[in-house]
Copies of this chain bind each other. A is one copy, B any other.
């Protein structure tokens, strides 16, 4: 019997040529899903394909812990399909993760016998292991040190505490949405009494958890397919300006409105709500109730949605070194691994980053911004030219599309919008925040203008893409900012283009006239 054991050891690098392809199957209580990750361990990864089947393995768990014949049939069929797919695809590893339904089923043996012929690498998680993989996913894709992590599945919900990016404590509770729906929400739509009974059952199990969380300011992070559906539905209802789920702050007030809507509709009607998958429509109300209860009882305004969960946590065990399985710096990793996907000229990009950093530091007395803003500027400088991969013409617009189309881990949505707008305007135009007000803070317009001015200066000071300006000093006067530019030869094109293209935005953002002073290179080469 395969049963409860850790992942098999990862084969050492020389066995296979790069990149490696790793398939993780999450055999959940609601859905079975194979995700194929391509990666070079430690360096980058990306999702290549996925295949998904609704299996409802936890069917009947509202009243028993017995896998029904039909749920076993569905799961076996889904696994055979997945094995067929995985066998044809050229995977280096295929690992199947079993969660609450398999963990708890009193007739698990029968199911395991049914799939024995498939010879799967099956890891049935304990509740603690399942909770831990969720924390691993959060630690490697969001920039929190501490958080309360909640993972809602079909059979169970995992609740954990992450401290210093490490799993501190946590475990599973039998309050998954399939189970809760079957046990309590029997009418369609559910009655008020059914909702109250469900909430009482949740309270009985989680009140002490809620009390602890209420006294602790660490943010709440949620995950799971149903939460992603809820978040997407809310985004559509409020006209959220970007199409990203990971890192989204789902507000309680919006969830309250959506929950009422879900409770007043039948399952069939819910399937028509934009953002709600039709194959989850019958259990989504229970999911909304669980999260609403948690937010209300912990007195939070909302929670951060993680698009990564247990599946990614399991993948990280193949991608990152034991025993921690941690990306050292999430933001740096996401910028560098994104950059590595695009064929931008490395030397030019690094030079723009260096110049932008020098400008930021030298202008500190004028802007008084901190290290987080400097990091934002550096990320924009790193990624400013990725749009060239689409087309040189309008590459600033294409770059903005690329940046806003995929989450940049560790950056908030607000920061990702600021990055997008910096890239959008790194060459020309006055950066606008129109349409994004919902996401931005007061003062962000000014911040955006200043950071974009630094980026644009750096870009035009490196106009010939030859690293000519080897160092610079910033001299701040009462009416001028003078840049002393050190280079071996006179940087004709840089001077001309910087005055023409970059000076107006700079002067608007910093209220100083820009003066460029070319100077012979007096420092040892390579100083910058």
Are B48's CB and A466's CB within 8 A?
A: no
Are A89's CB and B496's CB within 8 A?
A: no
Q: Which of A372-409 contact B (CB under 8 A)?
A: 388-394, 398, 401-402, 405-406
> Any chain B CB within 8 A of the CB of A107?
no
- Give min CB distance, A500 to chain B, whole Å: 9
Are B392's CB and A464's CB within 8 A?
A: no
Q: A401-B401, A405-B398 are in contact. Are A88 and B466 (CB under 8 A)?
A: yes
| Highest count of chain B CB atoms <10 Å: which of A90, A463, A497 | A463
Are B48's CB and A81's CB within 8 A?
A: no
- Give min CB distance, A52 to chain B, whole Å: 10
Are B49's CB and A493's CB within 8 A?
A: no
| Highest count of chain B CB atoms <10 Å: which of A50, A84, A464 | A84
> Any chain B CB within 8 A of the CB of A51?
yes
For A492, list chain B residues within 8 Å (CB): 80-81, 84
Q: Which residue of B lies closest to A405 (CB)?
A: B390
> Any chain B CB within 8 A of the CB of A468?
yes
* A48: contacting residue among B90, B341, B392, CB under 8 A: B392
* A89: contacting residue among B48, B465, B497, CB under 8 A: B465
> Any chain B CB within 8 A of the CB of A240?
no
* A85: contacting residue among B49, B80, B493, CB under 8 A: B493
* A88: contacting residue among B398, B402, B493, B496, CB under 8 A: B493
| Highest count of chain B CB atoms <10 Å: which of A47, A391, A406, A493 | A493
For A402, list chain B residues within 8 Å (CB): 390
Q: A88-B493, A464-B88, A466-B89 are in contact. Are A46 and B81 (CB under 8 A)?
A: no
Q: Mark A493-519, 1 if CB is under 8 A from B, else 0.
A: 100110000000000000000000000
A80 to B390, CA, bound (A): 31
Q: Which residue of B lies closest to A50 (CB)?
A: B392
* A394: contacting residue among B51, B405, B465, CB under 8 A: B405
- Give min CB distance, A387 to chain B, whole Å: 9
Are B392's CB and A47's CB within 8 A?
A: yes
Q: A390-B405, A391-B405, A401-B401 are in contact. Are A81 and B496 (CB under 8 A)?
A: yes
Are A49's CB and B465's CB within 8 A?
A: yes
Q: A89-B466, A398-B405 are in contact. Are A389 and B389 (CB under 8 A)?
A: yes
Q: Which residue of B lies closest to A388 (CB)?
A: B48
A398 to B389, CA, bound (A): 13
For A89, list chain B residues within 8 Å (CB): 464-466
For A391, list chain B residues within 8 Å (CB): 46-47, 405-406
Are A393's CB and B464's CB within 8 A?
A: no
- Give min CB distance, A73 to chain B, whole Å: 14
- Give min CB distance, A351 to chain B, whole Å: 12
Q: Mark A67-97, 1 if CB is under 8 A from B, else 0.
A: 0000000000000110011001110000000
Are A84's CB and B392's CB within 8 A?
A: no
For A393, list chain B residues within 8 Å (CB): 47, 406
Are B84's CB and A51's CB within 8 A?
A: no
Top 6 A-B residue pairs of the complex, sorted by shortest distance between their CB atoms: A88-B464, A88-B466, A47-B392, A84-B492, A391-B406, A85-B493
A residues near B, CB below 8 A?
A: 46-51, 80-81, 84-85, 88-90, 243, 341, 388-394, 398, 401-402, 405-406, 463-466, 468, 492-493, 496-497
Question: Can you name 5 A-B residue pairings with CB atoms under 8 Å?
Answer: A51-B463, A84-B492, A88-B466, A89-B464, A391-B405
Q: A51-B493, A88-B468 are in contact. List 10 more A-B contacts (CB 8 A).
A: A50-B392, A80-B492, A81-B493, A84-B464, A84-B492, A84-B493, A85-B493, A88-B464, A88-B493, A393-B406
